[in-house]
Amino acid sequence: MMEKTKDVTDIFANLDEKVDIIFRYNMLMNVYQSIPREYTPGFFMSEIEIHTLGFIQRCPGMTAKQICQLTFRTKGTVSSMLSKLEKDGFIEQKVNPENMREHNLYLTEKGEQTCRKHIAFDRRTTADYLMAASEYCTPEEINGYFKLTAFRTKYFEDVLQREKKRYAEIVKERKKESKK
């Protein structure tokens, strides 16, 4: 029995316009995420900081290395951020007694309260977005967006890993060549 081939012609229609839509969305989200918000009086946090607290809340005892993997940030960037969060009283680090080189991360009460406020903010913002989207899209289209976004995230996580590996190999090869 012959399998039907999907007709993807329509998907590729207006490809340049679709590329621009994705680019503008990504740029807009970068700006949106860079705006510090005051979840705790007197303390403004970036999206990366507040979501890091959320990761720690969902997985108490996680490590800085795990935060690096979740946020796609360098060890130095994450280390600086964690130091700031600890200094400001949102997290505490404890040495793992089974591996003295490993520090486990935990929220303080202040960190827990801040997370709760952020969860409420995210839920309210997302609900507002979904209500506005429902004026323009069907529920199936909205759910399709989330399905596609989940796929796109996984797809680009894989691309990122391949590109990082490829880049590291090129750098290594160039260093070998320059020593000749």
pLDDT tier for residue 180 given thresholds of 50, 70 and 90: confident
Mean pLDDT of 168-175: 92
Beta bridge partners of 104: 94
Three-class SS of residue 106? strand
- Encoded tokens for 142: 């909205």
Tally of residues, the chain: 180
Look at residue 5 in the predicted model and tell me its pLDDT: 65
| pLDDT for the residue numbered 46 | 92
Q: Quick check: 118 and 139 in contact, CB under 8 A?
A: no
Tokens of 11: 């998907």
pLDDT-based confidence at 179, cuts 50/70/90?
confident
Integer Cα distance of 94 and 122 in angstroms:
29
- Determine the pLDDT at residue 3: 59
The CATH number of 15-136 is which of 1.10.3720.10, 1.10.10.10, 2.60.40.10, 3.90.1150.150?
1.10.10.10
pLDDT in tens, 23-70: 999 999 999 988 999 998 999 999 999 999 999 999 999 999 999 999
Do residues 81 and 52 make contact, with C-beta atoms less than 8 angstroms apart? yes
Q: Closest by alpha carbon to 56, among 81, 91, 8, 87?
A: 91
Q: What angle do CA 114, 28, 49 make, to 5 degrees?
A: 25
Mean pLDDT of 90-116: 95
